[in-house]
Amino acid sequence: MKVTKFTVNPFGENTYLAWDEATLRAVIIDPGMMQDHERNVVTEFIEDNHLVMQQVLLTHIHIDHVASARWMADRYGISVAASSMDAPYALALPGQAEHFRLRIPVDALTIDQPLADGDTFMLGEETVQVLAMPGHTPGGLAFYAPDSALAFTGDSVFEGSIGRTDLHGGDYATLIKSIKEKIMTLPPDTLLIPGHGPTTTVANERDYNPYLDL
């Protein structure tokens, strides 16, 4: 699996394109682009590399991760996949934008394909597993590709830190439980690809993350 990161919007959110080199089948994870120039950079990359877009995947539904979800889905004729547990947040996106004083046009979002813990999907010939990661939001997800030894972790765990739990629907104990049970049990060399900041590994967070008493 190939992965390219685009850091976008005022929150420094990481949007990812992940694709299979043989088939050029691709997904976009957490398209948080809020400006035309950000969307243009992503779409130019897709078109320059002849990627065939398969789906929009959302690790959770906060405005900084989904601002261009429907825009991307409409452009490429693909579906938006996320946890149905975050459906209330999807419907409340205009309110989220107002809360953060974002002067961007945003409509309520509909989840086309609900995802749940244990679901799998194919990206080319590689199986990707869906892991439920509640705590930052009730419907938080991670996407784990064991053959590539990587996991897209959204805002659950960062290098040396964890996601916020002080926003509506967040819960600290639930998030810690999710990280310990779903992420820290992955092989130590698994690359963790977060929604903000640099990549890290399971081993690094096991040894040095001050929020995880392992």
- Could you count the other beta carbons within 10 Å of the beta carbon of residue 173? 9
In a domain, 27, yes or no: yes
In a domain, 214, yes or no: no
Residue pLDDT, tens place only, 145-174: 999 999 999 999 999 999 999 988 999 999
In a domain, 25, yes or no: yes
In a domain, 213, yes or no: no
Q: 89: domain range?
A: 2-208
- Could you count the other beta carbons within 10 Å of the beta carbon of residue 53? 20
Q: Which of 128, 108, 113 is nearest to 83 (CA)?
A: 113
Q: What is the pLDDT of residue 87?
A: 97
Work out how many domains the chain is built from and give that number: 1
In a domain, 195, yes or no: yes
Residue pLDDT, tens place only, 96-125: 999 889 989 899 999 999 999 999 999 999
Mean pLDDT across the stretch 2-31? Answer: 98
Helix (H) / strand (E) containing 42: helix 36-48
In a domain, 119, yes or no: yes
Report the distance separating Cα 117 and Cα 126, nearest Å.
18
Residue 128 phi, psi (nearest 5): -115, 130
DSSP letters spanning 2-32: EEEEEEETTTTEEEEEEE-TTT-EEEEE---
Residue pLDDT, tens place only, 72-101: 999 999 999 999 999 999 999 999 999 889
In a domain, 116, yes or no: yes
Handedness of CA 54, 60, 61, 64 (dihedral sign): negative
In a domain, 26, yes or no: yes
Q: What is the pLDDT of residue 99?
A: 87
**In the predicted model, is pLDDT for residue 214 greater than 80?**
no
Any residues with CB less than 8 A from the CB of 77 and at least 6 apart, and which?
none
pTM: 0.97
CATH number at residue 152: 3.60.15.10
